[in-house]
Amino acid sequence: MIITEQKPLEKILESLKEYTKIFLVGCGECSTSCKTGGEKEVIQLKDALERNGKRVVGFVIPKAPCIASQVKMEFAKNRKALEEAEVILSLTCGLGAQSVKENDRLGHEVIPGCNTVCMGVMDAQGNFFERCSACGECVLDITGGICPITLCPKSLLNGPCGGMDKGKCEVDKERDCVWVLIYKELEKRKKLDALKKIQKPKDFQKATKPHKLIMAK
């Protein structure tokens, strides 16, 4: 899941200061789960913008705005409103906002209404936690399904470091050292031998941005 937070209203209004007629785009997946761009949040922002002198001419909430076909379909259904709009405000992650821009045939400026925080998971209480850094070279099969690249402040591939104290991280004394957690997980699964192999430094070429994966032949 892409975790987002909605920008403060004053920041959004500052971004929209040149425009009056706004078209909103939400997200039916990640932003809905994060309560930053689902139907409820889109309507709340619509009301807030209109109280501040803006006119929202329409809105759509594609299930996954990062998928081009879904944006194109929703825009085709709302062509008239888009023609009236002066700008598009996207309550999505950065991926969704760029997808909206690339698939808007009318060439509107697309302004992000959310900050993209990280990739993460949501627990049963609705809290969000970063778990993956999209490093391009996954080691979860070696580390018992626990990512040291993301969860260790030093992204150590061979740990723990010398600063670990009584199972706690030297950077954050309230946090369990991820390599202690990995050790316990591998011990439980009787796979501690995996720790005897020294992992080579990461191939940072695999993390060179921007990534691409060409599927079309």
Q: Is residue 65 part of a domain?
A: yes
Q: Is residue 217 part of a domain?
A: no
Please give the residue range of the domain that contains residue 16. Answer: 2-117
pLDDT tens-place string over residues 113-156: 999 999 999 999 999 999 999 888 999 999 999 999 999 999 99
Question: Among 89, 117, 145, which residue terminates a domain?
Answer: 117
What is the rounded distance in angstroms from the CA atom of residue 213 to the CA atom of residue 80?
35
Count of domains in the chain? Answer: 2
pLDDT on residue 205: 76
pLDDT on residue 217: 66
Average pLDDT, the chain: 95
Q: Is the pLDDT of residue 211 over 70?
A: no
192 and 86 share one domain: no
pLDDT on residue 39: 98
C-alpha distance across the termini of the chain, in Å: 28
pLDDT tens-place string over residues 179-198: 999 999 999 999 999 999 99
CB-based contact 124:138 (threshold 8 Å): no
101 and 162 share one domain: no
Q: Is the pLDDT of residue 74 over 90?
A: yes
Q: Is the pLDDT of residue 204 over 90?
A: no
What is the rounded distance in angstroms from the CA atom of residue 29 to the CA atom of residue 81?
23
Per cent of the chain over pLDDT 90 is 89
Least confident of 20-34, 157-171, 190-204: 190-204
pLDDT on residue 208: 73
Tell me, what CATH number does 109's domain have? 3.40.50.2300
- For 170-178, what is the mean pLDDT? 95
Q: Is residue 197 part of a domain?
A: yes
Q: Is residue 24 part of a domain?
A: yes
**Element holding 99 (H helix, E strand):** helix 94-102
- For 27-52, what is the mean pLDDT? 98
- For 47-59, what is the mean pLDDT? 98
CB-based contact 30:42 (threshold 8 Å): no
Find the length of the chain: 217
Question: Among 90, 117, 144, which residue terminates a domain?
Answer: 117
- For 82-101, what is the mean pLDDT? 98
pLDDT on residue 47: 98
